[in-house]
Amino acid sequence: MHRSASRLTRVLACAAVPVILTVAGCSSDSGKDTSSNGEKKSGSSSSAKPNPKSSKVLEKAAFATLPDPCKALATATIDTLVPEAKDKNGTATKSNDLATRASCSWNGLDEDGLKGSQYRWLSLSFFRYDSHATLGDANKRAEEQYNKEVETAKTEEGAQDPKTEAVAGIGDQASSVIYKVKKDVDSFNTSIVARTQNVVIRIDYNGAAYEGAGAPDHGKLLQDAINAAKETVTSVGAANKAPAEQSQSPQPQ
Protein backbone atom coordinates (compact mmCIF):
# COMPACT_ATOMS: atom_id res chain seq x y z
CA MET A 1 0.00 0.00 0.00
CA HIS A 2 2.90 2.33 0.71
CA ARG A 3 4.38 1.64 -2.74
CA SER A 4 1.13 2.46 -4.48
CA ALA A 5 0.87 5.82 -2.72
CA SER A 6 4.44 6.81 -3.65
CA ARG A 7 3.90 5.87 -7.28
CA LEU A 8 0.67 7.88 -7.44
CA THR A 9 2.47 10.94 -6.07
CA ARG A 10 5.17 10.74 -8.82
CA VAL A 11 2.56 10.43 -11.60
CA LEU A 12 0.66 13.49 -10.40
CA ALA A 13 3.90 15.51 -10.18
CA CYS A 14 4.90 14.66 -13.78
CA ALA A 15 1.43 15.45 -15.09
CA ALA A 16 1.65 18.97 -13.64
CA VAL A 17 4.86 19.89 -15.50
CA PRO A 18 3.32 20.58 -19.00
CA VAL A 19 0.75 22.89 -17.42
CA ILE A 20 3.47 24.99 -15.80
CA LEU A 21 5.45 25.16 -19.07
CA THR A 22 2.39 26.21 -21.01
CA VAL A 23 1.65 29.07 -18.63
CA ALA A 24 5.25 30.21 -18.79
CA GLY A 25 5.11 30.19 -22.59
CA CYS A 26 2.04 32.41 -22.61
CA SER A 27 3.71 34.82 -20.22
CA SER A 28 6.77 35.24 -22.51
CA ASP A 29 4.56 36.01 -25.55
CA SER A 30 2.70 38.73 -23.71
CA GLY A 31 5.95 40.45 -22.75
CA LYS A 32 7.18 41.27 -26.27
CA ASP A 33 6.17 44.95 -25.91
CA THR A 34 7.48 45.19 -22.38
CA SER A 35 10.97 46.18 -21.27
CA SER A 36 13.09 44.29 -18.81
CA ASN A 37 11.74 46.39 -15.93
CA GLY A 38 8.13 45.69 -16.88
CA GLU A 39 7.38 49.03 -18.59
CA LYS A 40 5.58 48.98 -21.93
CA LYS A 41 7.65 49.98 -24.96
CA SER A 42 6.29 52.78 -27.15
CA GLY A 43 6.68 53.52 -30.88
CA SER A 44 8.16 50.14 -31.73
CA SER A 45 6.04 49.75 -34.89
CA SER A 46 6.12 53.35 -36.17
CA SER A 47 8.93 55.42 -37.70
CA ALA A 48 9.51 59.18 -37.43
CA LYS A 49 8.43 61.23 -40.46
CA PRO A 50 11.27 63.07 -42.24
CA ASN A 51 11.21 66.85 -42.14
CA PRO A 52 10.24 68.36 -45.51
CA LYS A 53 13.11 70.04 -47.32
CA SER A 54 12.96 73.80 -47.21
CA SER A 55 12.72 75.23 -50.76
CA LYS A 56 13.96 78.69 -51.71
CA VAL A 57 11.17 81.20 -52.28
CA LEU A 58 11.79 82.99 -55.58
CA GLU A 59 11.25 86.73 -55.68
CA LYS A 60 8.40 87.89 -57.89
CA ALA A 61 9.52 89.64 -61.08
CA ALA A 62 9.35 93.44 -60.76
CA PHE A 63 8.13 94.01 -64.32
CA ALA A 64 5.37 91.87 -65.82
CA THR A 65 5.26 93.41 -69.29
CA LEU A 66 7.24 95.43 -71.84
CA PRO A 67 6.44 98.72 -73.54
CA ASP A 68 5.88 98.81 -77.28
CA PRO A 69 9.51 99.13 -78.49
CA CYS A 70 8.50 101.42 -81.37
CA LYS A 71 6.86 103.79 -78.87
CA ALA A 72 9.37 103.55 -76.04
CA LEU A 73 11.26 106.60 -77.34
CA ALA A 74 9.65 109.99 -77.87
CA THR A 75 9.23 111.31 -81.42
CA ALA A 76 11.60 114.17 -80.56
CA THR A 77 14.27 111.63 -79.56
CA ILE A 78 13.93 109.81 -82.89
CA ASP A 79 14.22 113.15 -84.74
CA THR A 80 17.47 113.88 -82.90
CA LEU A 81 19.06 110.45 -83.30
CA VAL A 82 17.82 109.63 -86.80
CA PRO A 83 17.25 112.82 -88.83
CA GLU A 84 15.17 112.16 -91.95
CA ALA A 85 14.15 108.72 -90.71
CA LYS A 86 12.39 106.70 -93.41
CA ASP A 87 9.66 105.79 -90.96
CA LYS A 88 9.48 107.68 -87.67
CA ASN A 89 7.16 104.97 -86.35
CA GLY A 90 9.99 102.45 -86.69
CA THR A 91 10.05 98.88 -87.92
CA ALA A 92 9.17 96.25 -85.33
CA THR A 93 10.88 92.88 -85.40
CA LYS A 94 8.57 89.86 -85.35
CA SER A 95 8.39 88.02 -82.04
CA ASN A 96 6.46 84.99 -80.81
CA ASP A 97 6.14 86.54 -77.35
CA LEU A 98 6.12 90.33 -77.17
CA ALA A 99 5.88 90.14 -73.36
CA THR A 100 9.44 88.77 -73.17
CA ARG A 101 11.17 89.77 -76.45
CA ALA A 102 10.58 92.88 -78.52
CA SER A 103 12.60 95.22 -80.72
CA CYS A 104 12.26 98.10 -83.15
CA SER A 105 14.65 99.92 -85.51
CA TRP A 106 14.91 103.19 -87.43
CA ASN A 107 17.24 104.37 -90.20
CA GLY A 108 17.62 107.47 -92.30
CA LEU A 109 19.95 109.35 -94.68
CA ASP A 110 20.26 113.07 -94.08
CA GLU A 111 21.47 114.57 -97.37
CA ASP A 112 23.12 117.99 -97.42
CA GLY A 113 23.93 118.60 -101.08
CA LEU A 114 27.61 119.08 -101.80
CA LYS A 115 28.43 118.72 -98.13
CA GLY A 116 27.60 115.04 -98.32
CA SER A 117 25.22 112.86 -96.34
CA GLN A 118 24.95 111.50 -92.82
CA TYR A 119 23.50 108.05 -92.25
CA ARG A 120 22.08 106.92 -88.90
CA TRP A 121 20.72 103.56 -87.74
CA LEU A 122 19.08 103.00 -84.36
CA SER A 123 17.85 99.74 -82.84
CA LEU A 124 16.13 99.14 -79.51
CA SER A 125 15.72 95.65 -78.03
CA PHE A 126 14.02 94.38 -74.87
CA PHE A 127 14.54 91.09 -72.98
CA ARG A 128 12.27 90.36 -70.00
CA TYR A 129 12.56 87.44 -67.55
CA ASP A 130 10.27 85.83 -64.96
CA SER A 131 11.31 83.86 -61.88
CA HIS A 132 11.33 80.13 -62.60
CA ALA A 133 11.66 77.23 -60.16
CA THR A 134 14.21 75.50 -62.39
CA LEU A 135 15.90 78.47 -64.12
CA GLY A 136 16.13 80.76 -61.12
CA ASP A 137 15.32 84.27 -59.97
CA ALA A 138 14.09 86.80 -62.58
CA ASN A 139 16.72 89.43 -61.78
CA LYS A 140 19.51 86.83 -61.83
CA ARG A 141 18.39 85.56 -65.22
CA ALA A 142 18.28 89.14 -66.52
CA GLU A 143 21.80 89.76 -65.20
CA GLU A 144 23.04 86.72 -67.13
CA GLN A 145 21.41 88.08 -70.31
CA TYR A 146 22.96 91.49 -69.63
CA ASN A 147 26.46 89.99 -69.53
CA LYS A 148 25.73 88.00 -72.67
CA GLU A 149 24.61 91.12 -74.58
CA VAL A 150 27.74 93.03 -73.57
CA GLU A 151 29.92 90.21 -74.89
CA THR A 152 27.87 89.98 -78.09
CA ALA A 153 28.26 93.72 -78.72
CA LYS A 154 32.05 93.41 -78.31
CA THR A 155 32.27 90.62 -80.87
CA GLU A 156 30.05 91.99 -83.65
CA GLU A 157 31.32 91.13 -87.11
CA GLY A 158 33.89 93.67 -88.33
CA ALA A 159 34.25 95.38 -84.94
CA GLN A 160 37.65 97.05 -84.63
CA ASP A 161 39.21 97.67 -81.21
CA PRO A 162 35.98 97.58 -79.15
CA LYS A 163 36.07 99.51 -75.88
CA THR A 164 33.75 98.77 -72.97
CA GLU A 165 32.98 101.05 -70.03
CA ALA A 166 30.47 101.04 -67.19
CA VAL A 167 27.85 103.78 -67.42
CA ALA A 168 26.31 105.24 -64.27
CA GLY A 169 22.75 106.42 -63.86
CA ILE A 170 20.98 103.92 -66.11
CA GLY A 171 18.84 101.33 -64.32
CA ASP A 172 20.60 98.86 -62.04
CA GLN A 173 23.66 98.45 -64.27
CA ALA A 174 24.76 99.60 -67.71
CA SER A 175 27.74 99.42 -70.05
CA SER A 176 28.74 101.11 -73.28
CA VAL A 177 30.55 99.33 -76.10
CA ILE A 178 32.02 101.46 -78.90
CA TYR A 179 33.96 100.43 -81.99
CA LYS A 180 34.59 101.23 -85.64
CA VAL A 181 33.67 99.14 -88.64
CA LYS A 182 35.70 99.66 -91.81
CA LYS A 183 33.69 98.95 -94.94
CA ASP A 184 33.25 101.36 -97.85
CA VAL A 185 33.22 104.18 -95.28
CA ASP A 186 34.13 104.53 -91.64
CA SER A 187 31.18 103.61 -89.45
CA PHE A 188 31.12 104.42 -85.76
CA ASN A 189 29.02 102.01 -83.70
CA THR A 190 27.72 102.46 -80.17
CA SER A 191 25.90 99.91 -78.02
CA ILE A 192 24.38 100.63 -74.63
CA VAL A 193 23.36 97.56 -72.64
CA ALA A 194 21.38 98.22 -69.47
CA ARG A 195 19.42 96.23 -66.91
CA THR A 196 16.52 97.49 -64.85
CA GLN A 197 15.37 94.74 -62.46
CA ASN A 198 14.28 91.78 -64.64
CA VAL A 199 14.43 93.64 -67.98
CA VAL A 200 17.49 94.04 -70.20
CA ILE A 201 17.69 96.88 -72.73
CA ARG A 202 20.05 97.13 -75.65
CA ILE A 203 20.46 100.28 -77.73
CA ASP A 204 22.53 100.03 -80.93
CA TYR A 205 23.28 103.35 -82.60
CA ASN A 206 25.47 103.62 -85.69
CA GLY A 207 26.59 106.61 -87.73
CA ALA A 208 28.44 106.97 -91.03
CA ALA A 209 29.34 109.81 -93.41
CA TYR A 210 29.03 109.68 -97.21
CA GLU A 211 30.10 111.76 -100.21
CA GLY A 212 32.67 113.86 -98.43
CA ALA A 213 30.65 114.63 -95.33
CA GLY A 214 32.56 115.01 -92.07
CA ALA A 215 32.89 111.95 -89.85
CA PRO A 216 30.21 111.60 -87.17
CA ASP A 217 30.96 113.16 -83.80
CA HIS A 218 31.74 110.07 -81.75
CA GLY A 219 31.19 111.77 -78.42
CA LYS A 220 27.76 113.05 -79.47
CA LEU A 221 26.68 109.65 -80.79
CA LEU A 222 27.65 108.04 -77.49
CA GLN A 223 25.84 110.64 -75.40
CA ASP A 224 22.71 110.42 -77.59
CA ALA A 225 22.68 106.63 -77.13
CA ILE A 226 23.05 107.01 -73.35
CA ASN A 227 20.15 109.48 -73.24
CA ALA A 228 18.02 107.07 -75.28
CA ALA A 229 18.80 104.24 -72.85
CA LYS A 230 17.77 106.37 -69.87
CA GLU A 231 14.51 107.26 -71.58
CA THR A 232 13.86 103.60 -72.35
CA VAL A 233 14.33 102.59 -68.70
CA THR A 234 11.67 105.15 -67.80
CA SER A 235 9.35 103.66 -70.43
CA VAL A 236 9.71 100.19 -68.87
CA GLY A 237 8.66 101.54 -65.49
CA ALA A 238 5.73 103.45 -66.98
CA ALA A 239 4.46 100.38 -68.85
CA ASN A 240 4.19 98.49 -65.55
CA LYS A 241 2.35 101.13 -63.54
CA ALA A 242 -1.29 100.76 -62.60
CA PRO A 243 -3.73 102.61 -64.93
CA ALA A 244 -4.30 105.32 -62.29
CA GLU A 245 -0.54 105.92 -62.03
CA GLN A 246 -0.12 105.99 -65.82
CA SER A 247 -2.72 108.73 -66.18
CA GLN A 248 -0.65 110.94 -63.86
CA SER A 249 2.67 110.31 -65.64
CA PRO A 250 3.87 112.39 -68.63
CA GLN A 251 3.84 110.39 -71.86
CA PRO A 252 6.55 110.55 -74.60
CA GLN A 253 5.65 112.89 -77.42
The SS3 assignment for 149 reads helix
Of the listed ranges 100-109, 113-122, 167-176, the one predicted with least confidence: 113-122
pLDDT digits (tens, 9 = 90+) for 187-210: 899 999 999 999 999 999 999 998
Q: According to the model, what pLDDT value does residue 12 have? A: 40
Instruction: With respect to residue 58, please indicate whether it lies within any of the assigned structural domains.
Output: no
Q: With respect to residue 128, please indicate whether it lies within any of the assigned structural domains.
A: yes
Q: Residue 124: beta bridge partners?
A: 104, 203
User: How many domains, the chain?
Assistant: 1
Is residue 142 in a domain? Answer: yes
Share of the chain above pLDDT 70, in %: 73
Is 154 domain-assigned?
yes
The answer to whether residue 76 is domain-embedded is: yes
The answer to the question of residue 119 being in a domain is yes
**Is residue 187 in some structural domain?**
no
Q: Per-residue pLDDT for 14 more than 60?
A: no
Q: What is the DSSP string of 101-114?
A: EEEEEEEEEEE-GG
Residues ≥6 apart with Cβ < 8 Å to 238: 67, 246, 249, 251
Q: How many CB atoms lie within 10 A of CB 200?
A: 26
Quote the CA–CA distance of 195 and 65 in Å, as a whole number: 15
Confidence of residue 115 (pLDDT cuts 50, 70, 90): confident
Read off the pLDDT of each residue in 132-142 and give the average, rounded to a whole number.
95
Mean pLDDT rounded to a whole number for the chain: 81
Residue 4 pLDDT level (bands cut at 50, 70, 90): very low
Which residue range(s) make up the domain with 89?
69-179+202-241
* pTM of the predicted protein model: 0.73
For residue 26, tell me if it sits in a domain: no
**Residue 152 phi, psi dihedral angles, 5° rounding:** -65, -45
Q: Which residue has the higher pLDDT, 46 or 171?
A: 171
* Structural contact between residues 121 and 205, judged by C-beta atoms closer than 8 angstroms: yes
pLDDT of residue 244: 55
